Amino acid sequence: MKIAYTVEEVRKQVKAWRQEGLTVGLVPTMGYLHEGHASLMKKAVEQNDRVVTSVFVNPTQFGPTEDLEDYPRDFDQDCKLCDSLGVSLVFHPEPSEMYAPDFCTWVNMDVLSKTLCGKSRPIHFRGVCTVVSKLFNIVTPDRAYFGQKDAQQLAIIRRMVRDLNMDIEIVGCPIVREEDGLAKSSRNTYLNAEERKAALILSQSIFLGQKMAEEGETDAAKIKNAMVEKIQTEPLAKIDYVEVVDGLSMQPIEKIEGATLVAIAVYIGKTRLIDNFILQ
Ligand code: AMP
């Protein structure tokens, strides 16, 4: 497995692969890799001749009061995992490699990026769309892999690729959970023992809402209220949002009919965690 720190090194490697007629998959990550990331890389290795994993804590998707500085990092461990899964190249640029001091070109999305996480993180998806576009331009993959864990992000990337005619197949991968139900996340490391227990309220409320919907409940407000009540039983939990939205437009709906996303964001202490389920 190779490690590249510059755009030029990645371009050179991908060009060589292309000359051999090989296909390329991309897995964008912010590192501190866990089994959720591993599931994306496994799928990418299955479906492509070569896989590039990017490990980059992208500063432009963090708001001024968010956890950019504290975000967990362990690049050596990340490389070991990538290597063990058959990844061919890890791209690990410095922020200065990705953003020139006078950088001023952004990929901005309307509508989809204004709800859910976009409400409490107003510049987040501009940063995500911009960095993912840059990675797509640098790696020029055939396929790129994203987790359903970040369901709004996945919907936004799919829309960006469609709207801007990017010739890349977007592959969504299911949420990987801890044995007790908590969705795996690099941010789970922020939780102390008491908070880790309290964090179970997210998956418990998700499973409750999912059960109601699967048993035929179509009233979005009833599902939402039941989930809110469940979360409120946990004293350490503070709700950012509990929403039932259309699976494509990310706009709130009243009645569940077609593809629907039920998504939550909850603070456990200072740590903001997200979870969701999808109804087709
Ligand atoms: P991150 O490093 O948090 O930016 O995540 C990189 C990619 O891994 C994103 O596409 C995430 O949706 C995906 N991912 C993170 N956690 C999980 C999980 N528990 N299950 C599935 N995919 C995940």
- pLDDT tens for the chain, 280 residues: list them: 999 999 999 999 999 999 999 999 999 999 999 999 999 999 999 999 999 999 999 999 999 999 999 999 999 999 999 999 999 999 999 999 999 999 999 999 999 999 999 999 999 999 999 999 999 999 999 999 999 999 999 999 999 999 999 999 999 999 999 999 999 999 999 999 999 999 999 999 999 999 999 999 999 999 999 999 999 999 999 999 999 999 999 999 999 999 999 999 999 999 999 999 999 8
C-alpha triplet 271, 185, 58: angle, nearest 5°: 85
Residue 130: its pLDDT value, please? Answer: 98
Query: CB within 8 A of 240, min separation 6: which ones?
Result: 120, 264, 265, 266, 267, 272
Residue 60: its pLDDT value, please? Answer: 98
93 lines ligand 1 (CB under 6 A): no
Determine how many CB atoms are found less than 10 A away from the CB of residue 278: 17
Residues assigned a catalytic role: 37
Helix (H) or strand (E) holding 207: helix 200-214
Give the distance from CA 225 to its chain's centroid: 26
175 lines ligand 1 (CB under 6 A): yes
187 lines ligand 1 (CB under 6 A): no
CA of 37 to the centre of ligand 1 (A): 5
Given a contact cutoff of 8 angstroms between Cβ atoms, the answer to whether 280 and 257 are in contact is no
CA of 155 to the centre of ligand 1 (A): 14
One-letter amino acid at 97 equals E
Give the separation between CA 202 and CA 29, rounded to whole angstroms. 23
Give the separation between CA 41 and CA 135, rounded to whole angstroms. 16
Given a contact cutoff of 8 angstroms between Cβ atoms, the answer to whether 152 and 251 are in contact is no
CA of 275 to the centre of ligand 1 (A): 11
186 lines ligand 1 (CB under 6 A): yes
Minimal-distance CA residue to ligand 1 atom 8: 37
Give the separation between CA 216 and CA 121, rounded to whole angstroms. 33
> Helix 124-139 to helix 7-19 angle, to the nearest 10 degrees?
50
